[in-house]
Amino acid sequence: MLYLLLIGCAVGLAIKPHFNAFAPLYTPEAFAAEQPLPFPQWLADFTGCTEWPGMNPPYIPLDFVNLDSLPENLENWIHAEGVCGNVASSAACSFDCYNCVMSEDVHTCPSLTQTFDDGPSPFTPTLTSALTTPLTFFTIGVNVVRFPQIYRDTANKGHIMGCHTWLHPFLPGQTNTQIVAQIEWLIWAMNATYGHLPKWFRPPYGGIDNRVRAIIHQFGMQAVLWDFDTFDWQLAANNDDFGTDAMYGSVSNFIESNDHRGLILEHDSMAHTVNIGIHLHGLIGLEQMTVPQCAGGIDYMKNFNFDK
Ligand SMILES: [Zn+2]
């Protein structure tokens, strides 16, 4: 077993993290300005690894994660993003296929509120400098270990830091152990950076069903979805000012039609999406909430005394 774990870590050493379409390539200056997060000794002792993993984080067994109690990845639940033809609608409660939410999912907010995914990034500080109220950021593990000081600065400003997996896979297509690995490595990175364990989890691409929910529940986390998607990353990719203006109009309409309630999906991973976020912050106004405020819940599963 130990041998297999070491192989898993070795793969991580050989293949450096890369960014998929969800995240940009950052400039060399951005990396030069940051000190990557050291790999802590406690994590080396526990995992047998010697540095943060790359594209394939190894599954490390945890005593509080009981794989036997988890649902199997049933054939009619497994699917790629957007391929929903065979997905069982009611039993799986797939958000990405059917917008299905369970009662414990947070998918809206009493006061219209922005949320930001895929950071921390070199563009995050521009956003947080402009924000006038604490919001919620769902982070990616490879970015946390690359930009730990940006993570700390964001948390120090009072923003809530949530979990968005290690490397942003579409989870309904993954095995139980692959999903656990995607979550545990990000949680360790968050703990090593700021001494806290997340309560709030946003599935990449909204990919969540009752199997993924059962896994995040074992970590004490709750899913956070949305009821308004800005598609800001797509607008950025198209460099489409007309589309951006149309989206601002849609948000204004949503504010009115939804009685100033709702939860908005945005990204702090690109310069353009950050500019959109700042503009929307002015449009929406100051009565925004953090996700725990929206849900009436705790900020983190646990906070440790930690020199930040
Ligand atoms: Zn994302």
Measured in angstroms, how far is the CA atom of residue 170 from the centroid of ligand 1? 10
Predicted pLDDT at 308:
63
pLDDT tens column, 71-119:
777 778 888 899 998 887 778 999 999 999 999 999 999 999 999 999 9
**Rounded average pLDDT over 199-212:** 96
Measured in angstroms, how far is the CA atom of residue 95 from the centroid of ligand 1? 15
Spatial separation of the C-alpha atoms in residues 161 and 184, rounded to whole Å: 15
Measured in angstroms, how far is the CA atom of residue 61 from the centroid of ligand 1? 26
Closest CA to 139 of 90, 68, 96, 193: 193
Measured in angstroms, how far is the CA atom of residue 3 from the centroid of ligand 1? 33
Least confident residue range of 88-97, 158-167, 254-263: 88-97
pTM here is 0.90
Could you tell me the pLDDT band of residue 25, with boundaries at 50, 70 and 90? low
Predicted pLDDT at 306:
67
Is 260 a catalytic site residue? no
Predicted pLDDT at 156:
96
Contact at 8 Å (CB) between 198 and 187? yes
Contact at 8 Å (CB) between 186 and 192? no
Mean pLDDT of the chain: 88
Measured in angstroms, how far is the CA atom of residue 28 from the centroid of ligand 1? 23
Closest CA to 267 of 120, 110, 112: 120
Which residue of the set 107, 159, 164, 267 is catalytic?
Answer: 267
Sign of the dihedral defined by the CA atoms of residues 184, 125, 13, 192, in that order: negative
CA atoms within 13 A on the CB side of 244: 19
Distances, alpha carbon 38 to alpha carbons 19, 165, 263, 288, in Å? 21, 19, 35, 35
Q: Which residue has the higher pLDDT, 27 or 20?
A: 27
**Rounded average pLDDT over 39-61:** 94
Predicted pLDDT at 235:
84
Judge whether residue 3 has pLDDT over 80.
Answer: no
Contact at 8 Å (CB) between 115 and 264? yes
Least confident residue range of 161-165, 285-289, 297-301: 285-289
DSSP E strands in 147-295: the ranges are 160-163, 196-198, 200-201, 222-223, 228-229, 263-267
**Rounded average pLDDT over 263-278:** 94
Predicted pLDDT at 26:
60
Measured in angstroms, how far is the CA atom of residue 118 from the centroid of ligand 1? 5
Contact at 8 Å (CB) between 288 and 113? yes
The domain 98-303 having CATH identifier 3.20.20.370: the answer here is yes
Which residue of the set 117, 118, 209, 299 is catalytic?
Answer: 117
Q: Is the previous residue joined to 120 through a cis bond, with omega within 30 degrees of 0?
A: yes
Predicted pLDDT at 20:
40
Spatial separation of the C-alpha atoms in residues 280 and 285, rounded to whole Å: 8
Measured in angstroms, how far is the CA atom of residue 41 from the centroid of ligand 1? 29
Is 267 a catalytic site residue? yes
**φ, ψ of residue 280 in degrees (nearest 5):** -65, -30
How, if at all, do strands 160-163 and 136-139 pair?
Answer: parallel
Predicted pLDDT at 197:
97
Could you tell me the pLDDT band of residue 6, with boundaries at 50, 70 and 90? very low
pLDDT tens column, 167-199:
999 999 999 999 999 999 999 999 999 999 999
Judge whether residue 15 has pLDDT over 60.
Answer: no
Residue type, 303: N
